[in-house]
């Protein structure tokens, strides 16, 4: 049986109700992708604002991420250039110290079929500890800081990043090398990869 086209697959994901009984709200899977995308943003799970709007990274975390990448919204939200496939597609609910972890069913059901339909990806941004764990497995460091600081280990395919959430202000203050060293590398890689798309 041939694999479903990416557009059909995304429609199936958006109709998914696998975790309906385990979520605090009606499922609203959020993602974007077209087969020509060169950058994959692999985050954790939508927050409440993203759940309400259905627009990925439509919150302060997304604003900071776009600054880190030096990418304007019109490019960021162009699925022909940038795919956005988080570890969990629906808002998982609130926990004692922030949002709950992404539901594992999303990756189990959908991740590999989606990635198989993205043959042009040159750079995957792994954002936050859950994305690090999902995509790097045992290769990741013992902490987010260790994984991010050793980003060259995962090049050229992956670039691990901390989560850009306002809750991470303390982490960013404690790790000033990230803004100084990693953000310029991130911007250079994004410009290079997106520039190659414009030349094709």
- The pLDDT of residue 1 is 40
Q: Is residue 162 part of a domain?
A: yes
Q: Is residue 143 part of a domain?
A: yes
Mean per-residue pLDDT over the chain, rounded: 95
E strands present in 64-122: 82-84, 94-95, 98-99
3-state secondary structure of 43: coil
Question: Percent of the chain at pLDDT above 90?
Answer: 92
The answer to whether residues 68 and 161 touch, using CB atoms and an 8 Å cutoff, is yes
Q: Is residue 113 part of a domain?
A: yes
Query: Which helix (H) or strand (E) segment is 81 a member of?
Result: none
- Among candidate residues 93, 2, 76, 90, the one with its CA nearest the CA of residue 40: 76
| Structural domain boundaries, residue 54 | 6-199
Q: What is the DSSP letter of 69?
A: H
Q: What is the DSSP secondary-structure string of 136-168? A: HGGGS-SSHHHHHHTGGGGTTTEEEE----GGG
Q: Report the alpha-carbon distance of residue 68 to residue 140 in Å, rounded.
A: 22
Q: Is residue 124 part of a domain?
A: yes
- Among candidate residues 76, 80, 38, 37, the one with its CA nearest the CA of residue 57: 76
Q: Is residue 28 part of a domain?
A: yes
- Among candidate residues 1, 75, 88, the one with its CA nearest the CA of residue 45: 88
Q: What is the arithmetic mean of pLDDT over 99-114? A: 96
- The pLDDT of residue 97 is 77
Q: Is residue 1 part of a domain?
A: no
Looking at the structure of the chain, the number of domains it has is: 1
The band of 46, judged by pLDDT with boundaries at 50, 70 and 90, is very high
Q: Report the alpha-carbon distance of residue 3 to residue 154 in Å, rounded.
A: 29
Domain with residue 67: its CATH number is 3.40.470.10
Q: What is the DSSP letter of 22?
A: G
3-state secondary structure of 52: helix
Q: What is the arithmetic mean of pLDDT over 126-150? A: 98
β-bridge partners, 95? 98
Q: Could you tell me which residues come within 8 angstroms of residue 100 by beta carbon, excluding any fewer than 6 positions away?
A: 92, 93, 94
Q: Is residue 159 part of a domain?
A: yes
Q: Is residue 158 part of a domain?
A: yes
Q: What is the arithmetic mean of pLDDT over 138-148? A: 98
Q: Report the alpha-carbon distance of residue 164 to residue 159 in Å, rounded.
A: 14
């Amino acid at each position: 049986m041939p694999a479903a086209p990416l557009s059909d697959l995304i429609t199936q994901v958006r109709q998914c109700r696998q975790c309906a009984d385990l979520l605090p709200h009606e499922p609203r899977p959020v993602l974007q992708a077209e087969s020509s995308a060169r950058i994959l943003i692999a985050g954790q799970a939508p927050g409440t604002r993203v759940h309400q709007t259905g627009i990925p990274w439509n919150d302060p975390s997304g604003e900071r991420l776009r600054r880190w990448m030096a990418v304007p919204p019109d490019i960021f939200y162009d699925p022909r250039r940038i795919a956005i496939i988080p570890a969990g597609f629906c808002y998982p609910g609130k926990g004692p110290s922030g949002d709950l972890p992404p539901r594992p069913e999303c990756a189990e059901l959908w991740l590999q079929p989606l990635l198989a339909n993205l043959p042009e990806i040159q750079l995957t941004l792994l954002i936050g500890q859950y994305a690090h764990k999902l995509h790097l497995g045992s290769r990741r460091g013992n902490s987010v800081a260790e994984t991010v600081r050793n980003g060259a280990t995962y090049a050229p395919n992956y670039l691990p990043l901390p989560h850009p959430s306002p809750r991470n202000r303390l982490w960013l203050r404690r790790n000033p090398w990230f803004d100084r060293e990693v953000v310029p590398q991130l911007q250079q890689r994004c410009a290079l990869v997106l520039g190659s798309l414009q030349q094709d």
